Structure 1
Amino acid sequence: MASKNHFMYPFLDALSQYAALPLFKKLVGEGASRTCVSITYQAFEEDLNKTSLFWAQKLSDIGVKSSDVVGLWITGAQYTDLVHLYSGFVPQIFSQKFTAQGLAVIGDLLSACDGKALVYDPSFGSAIQELGLPSVATPDLETLAAIIGEMLPTLPEVEPTDTAMIFHTSGTTSGKPKPVPESHRWFKFQTQQWQGVCQGSFNGQDLFNNIGSFGHVGSATYPNHICAAGQCMVQLPPSGFDRETLLDLTRLAGLNNLFLYAPWFSKLINMARTDPEVLGVLRGMHQIVYTGASLNPEDEAWIVEQGLPSTVLYATTEIALCLVSDLNDLKTLPAMRVVPGVQCEFIPTKSLKTSELAGDVQDRTCGGQLYDFFIPASAPNCPHPSIRNRPDGHISGDLFEEVQKGYYAFRGRNDDWIRTGPGLSFCDTKSIEDNCMLNCADLVKNCTVVGHYKPAVVLFIEPALSLPGETDVSAFKAGILRQTTSFNDRLFQHERITDPNFIVVVPPGSLPRTTEKGNIRRKAVEDEYADLLQQIYNNMKS
């Protein structure tokens, strides 16, 4: 009897169980002609069957086995992307944003994961020939014949710890994202975690919006964790949440739950303050889950005052959904408890003191102990051994404070990764700083990169030479940009520093430092230069 370790077994069972329900919805058209199209669980299963058979045959023809890693380069904006993701091979997923990084980076990442081939959206076809690996364009599903009586490929035998999919960090290290393998036990457990996050109760189907590209872990794993409860995904249009889209999503698509990054939620809150119709939509949701950052205290207070059914969620690409607040007790925001079933420990941190937190975070602390968040190796959602940062498990790099027994509030990062850019993606500041120090050693004495929860990163430099006038400073910045060009070209867009306006030159030794080691305190730099940074970001918008 075959083992059922493969995460697709419960997934396929759910497709049969909820066959008549909609799994995927999307708005089409504009204005008064806008309508909603639906795809049922059964239709998704039919598309999955014929696509799985296509890939089993096509990949076998080029010598690729079902257990091999295959690159999957998708737009991240199409329903068909999800079908290919779950079609039976082990996908290493590349999204639209890899077009800016180029094929060389994709080739390096595939090589690092022993990828045997590349499956790609036809829109990327012009560059594929340079890769040097077998490559196949994704087919138009309409051209694939329906499967009637044909033997479908069987799921391969796997161990729980075998890799099911490979995603990538949203930031780069030394010009490349880091592959993040997710195991079969991780996928299975994520479904349980999702059910622990969903706290609304009503008669009917839950419909959640996707949270970004299908090429990124949040939305790519949606089908896996919503299928178990017969829920539905509603795809956001490229415009995101403007007023009319929010109203149409609820009126036409039946959206009744929101899953948002905190800045998205803040935007909707700002609308709702002066728009009774938007406020009514938010109040009518079964649950509003927000993640990725903290809301400002004014927004949190307004949520409580207006009774918006909101929960804050802590999750990462490596460890998935781990902490959530209580829907039935809004006054505890932003404190979170552990999602049922998650194995974790809160370990007193020695890497950062409360006094070294960013000013806005420092203001919210109760003066208590700060904790690192640790997932032991025995936990089903512990990351793959290749990306763990401890032999016995993984520390997330995020800091928490226990604000009441069993409830923890997020208090920022304790390492060199920050969230920045329009999508608050991760950025490895240290790799940018190290490159600047290496390639601009003749110009730079010390530097730091800031921009945590900001629209872009800014590079602060203490120069290694005298710069008496504005002309000297301008020439200095031009030299920095020139000598970092090749490195910048390999970064994601949100990490790049290509404009002199995003370089700030300060006197040597003037940036705030830690007492013991004399390291530059990134958070303190952001506090000290808050007005200047705000001016830079305001000019960026104009």
Structure 2
Amino acid sequence: MTRSPSDILASAAQEYHDRPLFKIPRVDPRSGNITEYTSISYSQFAADVDTYARHWCRILRKDGVARGSVVGLWLGGFTTTDVLHIYGLSRAGYIPQLFSLRLPNPTVIYELLHRANAKALIFDHSYKHLVDQCPIPCHVAVGVDAVDPRNEPLPPRPVITAKDTLFIFHTSGSTSGSPKLVPCGYQWLVSTVQKSHLICRPRDRSRQDVTAWMGSMCHIAQEFMLIGAIQHGTCIVQPTKPGFDSAELFDMVGRCGLNRLNQFGSYLGGHLRNSHMDPKLLHVLKSLDDVLYTGLALPVEEERWAVSSGIKLRNLFGNTECGAMLLSVEGNPSLVKPLEGFSYRFVPHFNTQPEPNAHQSSGRLYELVILSDSPDCPAPSLRHADGHFHTGDLFREASNGRYIPHGRDDDWIKSENSLRCDTKSIEDHARLHCKALIGECIVVGSGRPSPAMFVEPSPSSANEDPERLRRKIWSRIREFHGKRYLHESLIPELIIIVPAMSLPRTATKGNVRRQAVEEAYKGNLDQLYASLATKARR
């Protein structure tokens, strides 16, 4: 038997009673500025979780939904009220199935609810107009002022066994097009408690850590970080948005005492770039006890610059199915090693044997595999036929037991002649040499003669003529591509400029989705490659 996340919170509330658990910004609706931060203590929040548990017991009992049933939660996951719904539902003995607001329509939600055998749905009020055809009982998520437990008694805490599911998360669907169910149970919680306790351990136990909300509670990263923070009595500042700007970071440090930062790499990169030109921001980043990033990798030059500047940077490598798996070596965020106490294996990846006179992208790669006896190995439904979980994450071995992340299996595309192309190396080189020109880029071209690169302009290049921007980019990467195999080489015509933030992205981390770009621009790519083939025949 083990405890649920709400039990962990209840224990923390006894130990850290009056400490602030959350700091919430109040924003002036006219100016958009933060006027103040209000605090919610550990004891108050734990009491509110119990109130929500009673509320949902009363509502769902009327619907005939038995305790132990799966109940969908379609929420943003960025507010303390969202956490109250999630933890309150869990405390009441139900299994929350968590959806992000950024899923496109209720049809996807209904399909996933059916696959999980969910018996009810709780949804954000902004989606009320979309759920009129919901096939199961549905209720709007209410705020603290509107919650109504009446005389409903607080149910006994659920007894959790090794076979029980506690939460159901979902993959992003970036490769399959449809999210997969990720059931998380006893072993998941035991592993998450162990891992997050290590990751979130304070550097200075004589003071309370203060960190920032990382992402949606409907996804694994923030759920993981919240469990870690609670164990150490940490305070979490709720930002106005996940990708908050550097001015808001200043505000959190100055008014809330923020001393450690957990962010997705795509968001942290903005602060690092700004700090190149802002000595005060650099000083703030250097003063933090910990700057931890995950999700999208930082450009290598940004990592090096941050470390050389004295920023205490760490790289946490994980996924939805397993949570955190690898942590960077102290002083070198580019090198990661497995967390202790878990059973992982790095196995040679097919078609990556070194070749004679091997060029830069043909060396041996290893895939990270989570073995079946590892406590964090996900549910059997997600495992490979051999019983293990194959992550699809690829690495190069730098030294014994230390690895350099090298993208995912789907970062390597097969060209028209079935040769493999390392898209990540093309993207990394373009970002490095065109950082003033490129906001984001993605390389596609599966089954094509050679790759194509879609480019979103940087803010400073947003108004530049696309053809002129293409020529500038090409002038900076031309030498690199002149040394690559033809099936791995870009040509100027295959640098495609698109508007900023127009490429499809994942809901969780904001990463551009390679397969979705391939599909969305298939017609354009067909015409472009056909035109190039015609020119070549002339």
Coarse TM-score class (shorter-chain normalised):
0.7 to 0.9
Q: Could you list the per-position Cα deviations for residues 112-145 of structure 1 after superposition, in whole angstroms to 9, with x for gaps in the alignment?
A: 1111111112221112121211112222221336
1:271 equivalent to 2:274? Answer yes
1:113-262 matches, within 5 Å, as: 113-144=116-147, 151-172=153-174, 175-198=177-200, 201-202=203-204, 203-238=206-241, 240-262=243-265
Letter in structure 2 aligned against 1:49: D
Compared with structure 1, are the counterparts of its residues 280 and 49 closer, same or farther at alpha carbon in structure 2 (3 Å cutoff)? same
Q: CA deviation at 1:455?
A: 4.2
Compared with structure 1, are the counterparts of its residues 541 and 5 closer, same or farther at alpha carbon in structure 2 (3 Å cutoff)? closer
1:428-439 matches, within 5 Å, as: none
2:9 and 2:46 in contact (8 A); partners too: no
1:169 and 1:317 in contact (8 A); partners too: yes
Q: CA deviation at 1:540?
A: 6.7
- Consecutive unaligned residues in structure 2, runs of 5 or more: 416-420, 429-438, 449-465, 467-483, 504-538
Compared with structure 1, are the counterparts of its residues 349 and 239 closer, same or farther at alpha carbon in structure 2 (3 Å cutoff)? closer
What is the match of residue 372 of structure 1?
Answer: 367
TM-score relative to the length of structure 2: 0.74
1:234 and 1:253 in contact (8 A); partners too: yes
- For residues 422 and 304 of structure 2, what CA distance do their matches in structure 1 show? 32
Q: CA deviation at 1:155?
A: 2.5
1:276-287 matches, within 5 Å, as: 276-287=279-290
What is the match of residue 13 of structure 1?
Answer: 11
1:298-309 matches, within 5 Å, as: 298-309=301-312
Q: Could you list the per-position Cα deviations for residues 17-51 of structure 1 after superposition, in whole angstroms to 9, with x for gaps in the alignment?
A: 21211111222225765211211111111110110
Q: CA deviation at 1:292?
A: 1.6
1:205 and 1:231 in contact (8 A); partners too: yes
1:290 equivalent to 2:301? Answer no
- For residues 22 and 386 of structure 2, what CA distance do their matches in structure 1 show? 40
1:52-67 matches, within 5 Å, as: 52-67=53-68
SS in 2 for 1:325: strand
- For residues 210 and 314 of structure 2, what CA distance do their matches in structure 1 show? 16
Instruction: Give the % identical residues.
Output: 29
What is the match of residue 350 of structure 1?
Answer: 350
SS in 1 for 2:18: coil
Q: Which moved more, 1:375-384 or 1:111-120?
A: 375-384
Compared with structure 1, are the counterparts of its residues 540 and 68 closer, same or farther at alpha carbon in structure 2 (3 Å cutoff)? closer
Aligned CA-pair RMSD: 3.6
Q: CA deviation at 1:271?
A: 1.0
SS in 2 for 1:208: strand
1:85 and 1:91 in contact (8 A); partners too: yes
1:122 and 1:138 in contact (8 A); partners too: yes
Q: CA deviation at 1:211?
A: 2.0
2:214 and 2:242 in contact (8 A); partners too: no
Q: CA deviation at 1:233?
A: 1.8
- For residues 524 and 58 of structure 1, what CA distance do their matches in structure 2 show? 63
What is the match of residue 519 of structure 1?
Answer: none
What is the match of residue 77 of structure 1?
Answer: 78
Q: CA deviation at 1:67?
A: 0.9
Q: Could you list the per-position Cα deviations for residues 137-191 of structure 1 after superposition, in whole angstroms to 9, with x for gaps in the alignment?
A: 222221336889x741122233224211111111256542111111132123212
1:289 and 1:311 in contact (8 A); partners too: yes
1:92 and 1:166 in contact (8 A); partners too: yes
2:372 and 2:389 in contact (8 A); partners too: yes
2:202 and 2:232 in contact (8 A); partners too: no
2:70 and 2:117 in contact (8 A); partners too: yes
1:22 equivalent to 2:58? Answer no
Compared with structure 1, are the counterparts of its residues 449 and 178 closer, same or farther at alpha carbon in structure 2 (3 Å cutoff)? farther
Compared with structure 1, are the counterparts of its residues 526 and 411 closer, same or farther at alpha carbon in structure 2 (3 Å cutoff)? farther
Q: Could you list the per-position Cα deviations for residues 469-488 of structure 1 after superposition, in whole angstroms to 9, with x for gaps in the alignment?
A: xxxxxxxxxxxxxxxxxxxx
Compared with structure 1, are the counterparts of its residues 457 and 338 closer, same or farther at alpha carbon in structure 2 (3 Å cutoff)? closer
What is the match of residue 404 of structure 1?
Answer: 399
- For residues 141 and 336 of structure 1, what CA distance do their matches in structure 2 show? 42
1:208 and 1:256 in contact (8 A); partners too: yes
Q: Which moved more, 1:238-247 or 1:45-54?
A: 238-247
1:507-522 matches, within 5 Å, as: none
- For residues 293 and 530 of structure 1, what CA distance do their matches in structure 2 show? 26
- For residues 450 and 457 of structure 1, what CA distance do their matches in structure 2 show? 8
- For residues 77 and 327 of structure 2, what CA distance do their matches in structure 1 show? 27
Which structure's relative contact order is higher, taking Cα pairs within 8 Å and 6+ residues apart? 1
- Consecutive unaligned residues in structure 1, runs of 5 or more: 419-428, 434-447, 464-500, 502-522
What is the match of residue 312 of structure 1?
Answer: 315
Q: CA deviation at 1:106?
A: 0.8
Letter in structure 1 aligned against 2:338: V
1:475-514 matches, within 5 Å, as: none
Number of residue pairs matched?
448
SS in 1 for 2:217: coil
- For residues 525 and 92 of structure 1, what CA distance do their matches in structure 2 show? 47
Compared with structure 1, are the counterparts of its residues 193 and 353 closer, same or farther at alpha carbon in structure 2 (3 Å cutoff)? same
SS in 2 for 1:314: strand
Q: Identify which of 487, 490, 502 aligns with 1:529.
A: 490
What is the match of residue 389 of structure 2?
Answer: 394
- For residues 212 and 228 of structure 2, what CA distance do their matches in structure 1 show? 13
Letter in structure 1 aligned against 2:25: L
1:46 and 1:146 in contact (8 A); partners too: no
What is the match of residue 338 of structure 2?
Answer: 338
- For residues 118 and 524 of structure 1, what CA distance do their matches in structure 2 show? 52
What is the match of residue 90 of structure 1?
Answer: 95
What is the match of residue 470 of structure 2?
Answer: none
Q: Could you list the per-position Cα deviations for residues 477-528 of structure 1 after superposition, in whole angstroms to 9, with x for gaps in the alignment?
A: xxxxxxxxxxxxxxxxxxxxxxxx9xxxxxxxxxxxxxxxxxxxxx989952
2:224 and 2:323 in contact (8 A); partners too: no
What is the match of residue 520 of structure 2?
Answer: none
- For residues 79 and 526 of structure 1, what CA distance do their matches in structure 2 show? 50
What is the match of residue 475 of structure 1?
Answer: none
Q: CA deviation at 1:62?
A: 0.9
1:35-46 matches, within 5 Å, as: 35-46=36-47
- For residues 299 and 8 of structure 1, what CA distance do their matches in structure 2 show? 38
Compared with structure 1, are the counterparts of its residues 252 and 533 closer, same or farther at alpha carbon in structure 2 (3 Å cutoff)? farther
2:123 and 2:141 in contact (8 A); partners too: yes
Compared with structure 1, are the counterparts of its residues 193 and 64 closer, same or farther at alpha carbon in structure 2 (3 Å cutoff)? same
1:450 and 1:526 in contact (8 A); partners too: no
Q: CA deviation at 1:270?
A: 1.2
1:452-467 matches, within 5 Å, as: 455=440, 460=445
